[in-house]
Amino acid sequence: MLSRYDQAASRAAAQVMGRYSTSFSLATRLLRGRVRADIRHLYAVVRIADELVDGAAAQAHTDPAAALDAYEKTILAAPQQRLHTDLVVHAYALTARRCGFPREYL
């Protein structure tokens, strides 16, 4: 069951990329399996942070700085949990654990 959730999270990250960057999304198709998925996972998590800064938070009447701070805490803690209710965070955590990202890179 968890592997199905992992796959759904990976597809969600790919959809985020596809909606925000058609050209980059197409370019990732040239990459193979895990590398492609990892790039999509990373792109999705960064894209969401960018959206918080670029206006989505303000349009939702949410303080962008507070939203970004909360998101950063979530992302920093993500690799330590095996399950996340946010599919993009879940996908990112899969990649972060697999690749062993040092905390300072985040």
Domain for residue 58, yes or no? yes
The pLDDT tens digits for 6-19 are: 999 999 999 999 89
Q: Where in the sequence is the domain holding 82, given as residue range(s)?
A: 2-101
Highest mean pLDDT out of 22-26, 32-36, 84-88: 84-88
Residue at 87 is within a domain: yes
> What separation in angstroms does the CA of 95 have from each of 57, 59, 61, 67, 101?
26, 30, 32, 23, 8
Average pLDDT, the chain: 92
What is the C-alpha separation between 25 and 63, in angstroms, rounded? 30
For the chain, the domain total comes to 1
Q: Which of 18, 32, 17, 13 is nearest to 91 (CA)?
A: 13
Q: What is the pLDDT of residue 23?
A: 83
Asked if residue 64 is part of any domain, the answer here is yes
**Pairwise CA distance, residues 69 & 53, whole Å:** 11
Q: What is the mean pLDDT of residues 20-47?
A: 89
pLDDT at 58: 87
Q: Across residues 10-38, what is the average pLDDT?
A: 89
Residue 106 domain-assigned (yes or no): no
For residue 7, being part of any structural domain is answered with: yes
In a domain, 57, yes or no: yes
